[in-house]
């Protein structure tokens, strides 16, 4: 429990171990729907923010590296222009031709790396879009939670009585003539269902 709230639950009049199957479970923090949904949306939002921050950091790092690779590519392109001129002016110097070929190979490799970075950036953007979709779903769940709270408040106000439960007349747990604790037997339920089916 977050706020160390103590839940005090009083069993209704007539509740006992023998009649417990006739009563709904008591409302505790573990089985309150709104509390559970609140917890899920809170944790979901926290984790979504963490994931989004990580994706954003990786995306920014990729952009930074892509910029550096682009500058390296421009350097190789300038080298090629220079080496082409040198190779044409001095064809007998094989080092210029060899360096020219190595720079062309390097450009192809750098182009492949750059394409990989761009593809990964696109994938990261898709992940960020998916995370935004996830956030929209979380907001929808929060809207449902608010509707449930409103309905709960409305029902509580609608059913609110001025008489304390202890002061009420207790409900009959056993009516003279009853031979068992069940209100309706399984055979009676089956008979009713078969009547409705016909």
pLDDT in tens, 84-103: 999 999 999 999 999 999 99
Angle (nearest 5°) at CA 121 between 138 and 140: 10
Spatial distance between the Cα atoms of 62 and 67, rounded to a whole number of angstroms:
8
The number of distinct structural domains making up the chain is 1
The helix, strand and coil proportions of the chain, stated in percent and rounded to the nearest 5, come to 70, 0, 30
In a domain, 168, yes or no: no
Task: Tell me, yes or no, whether 51 lies in a domain.
Answer: yes
Q: For 24-70, how does the pLDDT look when each residue is reduced to its tens digit (9 = 90+)?
A: 666 676 667 788 888 888 999 999 999 999 999 999 999 999 999 99
**Residue 195 located in a structural domain:** no
**Could you list the residue range(s) of the whole structural domain that residue 136 is in?**
29-147
Q: Are 166 and 12 contacting, i.e. CB atoms less than 8 angstroms apart?
A: no
pLDDT band at residue 1 using 50, 70 and 90 as cut-offs = very low
> Which residue shows structure tokens 């007998």?
92
Q: How far is CA 76 from CA 86, 107, 113, 117, 180, in A?
A: 15, 6, 14, 18, 93
Task: Give 108-120 pLDDT, tens digit per residue.
Answer: 999 999 999 999 9
d(CA 112, CA 184): 75
> Does the pTM of the predicted model rise above 0.75?
no
Separation of alpha carbons 128 and 181, rounded Å: 58
Cβ neighbours of residue 45 under 8 Å, at least 6 residues apart?
A: 135, 138
């Amino acid at each position: 429990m977050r706020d160390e709230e103590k839940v005090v639950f009083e069993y209704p009049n007539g509740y006992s171990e023998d009649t417990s199957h006739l009563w709904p479970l008591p409302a505790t923090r573990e089985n309150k729907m709104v509390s559970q949904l609140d917890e899920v949306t809170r944790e979901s939002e926290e984790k979504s923010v963490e994931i989004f921050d990580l994706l954003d950091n990786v995306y920014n790092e990729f952009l930074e590296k892509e910029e550096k690779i682009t500058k390296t590519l421009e350097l190789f392109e300038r080298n090629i222009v220079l080496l082409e001129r040198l190779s044409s002016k001095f064809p007998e110097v094989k080092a210029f031709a060899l360096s020219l070929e190595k720079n062309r190979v390097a450009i192809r490799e750098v182009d492949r790396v750059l394409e990989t970075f761009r593809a990964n950036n696109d994938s990261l953007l898709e992940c960020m879009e998916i995370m935004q979709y996830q956030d929209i779903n979380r907001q929808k769940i929060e809207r449902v939670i608010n509707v449930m709270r409103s309905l709960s408040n409305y029902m509580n106000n609608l059913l609110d009585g001025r008489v304390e439960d202890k002061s009420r007349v207790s409900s009959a747990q056993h009516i003279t003539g009853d031979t068992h604790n069940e209100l309706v037997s399984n055979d009676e339920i089956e008979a009713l269902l078969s009547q409705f089916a016909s």
